[in-house]
Structure 1
């Protein structure tokens, strides 16, 4: 007897065989690799080969399946890579006009004291990270707003907390605009069409976690906030250099994103700065386009967000289905990139636009490429994708290995939805230990799809909870070797001290949001 959830068969009382055992060993090997901070790609590829060899009894077929695993994952996830590429291309085009800095420069004057500066840093980091990811947001905020926050009296540690929680935590864990994380979670759970539901749930959970973490973080640094003074900036600049501790060479994932952020920061804003904080771009005619696009770009993307949200509140409006929301963001980014290129380069935009897209694709694969073989292994555990990976004839359903293992062991799973939700959250946190918030999403998504029907809880809720645990941990708030090193480097504070300050606020936020998910959904 089989129960179906999201189109994926969930086996009930399945007799496990050698293939299931090998697959389970593969899952354990990947989790151990994450705990030990080892490269996760290697065990994922080896496990895929071992499972395919056991299933088919042919080394030739197993070798082909290793390639098919990444190929199937690429087919499922390539739309995500394109969205990242177009958004990165847009940001590069805006940077050539100085529009990226112009978008945040007006907020310098709002920072009248350290308390306001804490809120402004968090708000601006969140908005920028929501649309462009934290990687470019951190150097942009550090270059334009961080010095002003220091002058306002905010301690450097307070700035690091605000930036990390708002960017690497709140914005990245929901990934509501670009929707990379919700798409991976939903596809791994066998519910590709439910990515929007996962995105909606993670948005709420990320806001709850973030507000709690920001509030508790503020209480921890409140006593250190001083009266505004230019001397704070002089002392801060004299006290440390911008250099960061080198990330371990064996690390992948978010640590790589931190390196990318540093390289971007070295050229930010891409030209020499003037004494008044402006740039040489202001001296050329295209500067007026920088000012125009600094206003138009946020307005366009706010309109995109309104289009995505409006059907939820206004009856009769057509709702975007499947991956349409992410496609709308990507298409908008591509068109806005063309506008920025022609504004900056005129006829040369025919060439520079292509260069920006290439740079975007390079960044996309550098940041997300390692997810493909990992996702390929976990797609091997889902019936709807395993057939293609194992090379079965078209139309023949493949084995749902992970779902069958969960189904066979369902009598060992606590019937409490709360216990299962916290278990998935902890698994997500474990997968984030390697410093990459997204590498564990195929696992947490697959577990959500398998455990949801057994625990009588919506798989989309479990996927959202697992995503929160994985991204908040590995994305850059709780792990010292994640992209948190970029945040602390710009703020000039010790990364281990930042982890210690963030630990209790973030954990408290995750616990509260997980409880809310169980109660609400």
Structure 2
């Protein structure tokens, strides 16, 4: 039995304040700073120690985000190097023949993102797909925000929530639910995954089309900018370095995909391979393309890439510092060994407070999955939703595999993430859009999708 203490109510109150601030379309850094200080003060009972908690929270968040900051910086550096010698245009030219309008661009970009995500997970997939295919999609008439929505919904939402190839998510859920293998959860999740996917992608497509019509001037300006860049590329003289750079990109990343599959590299290992490859390509292009000036040129590329990454992530480190207090492992690193997972505690308390029957249990599982995802990690809540599925199935005799799959989908779609700004930074960074705006675009399709998926789950339970 979980008993909520003062620290839980303070934390939960600040979560509400932050969500309200987001709803008002205002930045959330200051509320997060206040929240960390309040939680630190309640935890330590000491004002100056709460200031230390604030700093420790930023260090913990920065450590968690360092891998993403680095890979985005290195991919941006590679993109700039390839752009200077014309290699990016040579790679994009064949794909442009497929994306002939905004409608095709949305679905092609989305499905390519889904397929790549299933094999290497979304963050490295974003780095690969966004740098090459996003400009083509925009030139075809899709808005920059629409391209970001497509990559985010299909990758961090649809691809990661099913995770049918790598099987990381269903394996965690299944183990916590008492299954020997991930197969029962994967089988049970498919109709729910399909429902969630159809609802969210179709609604997102409809909203993106409306936004394109509503913001014709802005979208046309973006399209013309990419078109102008494309015209310059068409008229430029391509050298042997241009072709070598393009070939190097294709060959090395195909080798990466082979290695990812052969050695089952996942998560951070996959991101490390992608990031390291990007730096190798940047180095080779700099050496071949600029000769004696390559030493200074590669420094400029790396500097520009990391400046871009830090500019995007600076506010997210503060926001992440607050929400990492909700996860037990990071909360202990910030507050000390006595800390518990505040979000997990809130989820368990909610499940204990509501009378049990099939309908409320399904919605509780969905809500708890979403709550655990607020820390920006779609996987941190999976042990909890798996355990709750086993508990609920014993209490009211419902299918625990389906219940676990429902919690998994909610946790990953929220925290993986699609509707919280600190969970969608990779896509926002590659697309160059505000993560708060992207979260707002995703919010209605994802929430409707979760509700419809929960209703479908009730009939299956």
Name the TM-score, length of structure 2 as normaliser.
0.67
Q: 1:167 aligns with which of 151, 156, 159?
A: 151
Moved more, 339-348 or 408-417: 408-417
Q: Which residue of 1 aligns with 2:242?
A: 290
**What is the RMSD of the two structures over their aligned residues, measured on CA atoms?**
5.3
Q: Measure how far apart 1:69 and its partner are.
A: 0.5
SS in 2 for 1:95: helix
Distance 2:159 2:76 in 1: 15
What is the CA deviation profile of residues 353-402 of structure 1, one whole-angstrom value per residue up to 9, with x for unaligned ones?
A: 12222211122122233222222222223333323323x4xxx4433333
1:292 to partner: Cα distance: 3.0
2:324 is aligned to: 379
Inter-partner Cα distance in structure 1 for 2:17 and 2:302: 37
User: Counterpart of 1:299?
Assistant: 251
Task: Please give the alpha-carbon distance, in whole angstroms, between the structure 2 residues aligned to 1:221 and 1:32.
Answer: 24
Q: 1:472 to 1:209 in 2, by over 3 A?
A: farther
Give 3-state SS (helix, strand or coil) of 1:370's partner: helix
Aligned position for 1:399 = 340
- Give CA deviations for 1:439-463 in whole Å, capped at 9, x if unaligned: x552766555544423447989746
Flag the 1:90–1:463 CA change in 2: closer, same or farther, 3 A.
Answer: farther
Query: How far apart in 2 are the matches of 1:361 and 1:519?
Result: 49
1:57-456 alignment to 2 at 5 Å?
57-110=45-98, 130-132=125-127, 136=131, 140-142=135-137, 145-146=139-140, 163=147, 166-171=150-155, 173=157, 241-242=217-218, 273-274=231-232, 278-282=234-238, 287-310=239-262, 318-320=263-265, 323-390=268-335, 392=336, 396-412=337-353, 418-423=362-367, 440-442=374-376, 448=382, 450-456=384-390
Give the CA deviation at 1:47: 0.9
SS of corresponding position for 1:374: helix
- TM-score by length of structure 1 reads 0.61
> CA separation of 1:115/1:92 partners in 2, compared to 1, >3 Å: closer, same or farther?
closer
Stretches of structure 1 that go unaligned for 5 or more consecutive residues are 1-12, 147-155, 192-196, 223-235, 246-261, 311-317, 432-439, 476-481, 488-494
Deviations 1:99-134 (A, max 9, x none): 222212123445689987776565678779934377
Q: How does 1:501-520 map to 2 (within 5 A)?
A: none
| Per-residue deviation, 1:63 | 0.9
| Residues 172-220 of structure 1: CA deviation (Å, up to 9, x unaligned) | 54687xx9xx9xx99xx9x9xxxxx9xxx9xx99998667766788899
What is the deviation of 1:420? 4.0
Are the structure 2 counterparts of residues 365 and 452 from structure 1 closer, same or farther at C-alpha, using a change threshold of 3 Å? farther
CA offsets 1:142-186 (integer angstroms, 9 cap, x no match): 56x51xxxxxxxxx57x889845533432454687xx9xx9xx99
Instruction: Tell me the distance in 2 between the aligned counterparts of 1:472 and 1:268.
Output: 26
- The number of equivalent residue pairs is 407
Q: Give a deviation string over 1:75-119, Cα, whole Å, max 9, x none.
A: 222122111111111111111122222212123445689987776
1:72–1:89 Cα change, 3 Å: same
Going by fraction, where is helix more abundant, 1 or 2?
2
Conserved 8 A contact 2:89-2:230: no
Q: CA deviation at 1:41?
A: 1.7
SS in 2 for 1:378: helix
Q: Rate the CA distance shift 1:323–1:89 in 2: closer, same or farther, 3 A.
A: same
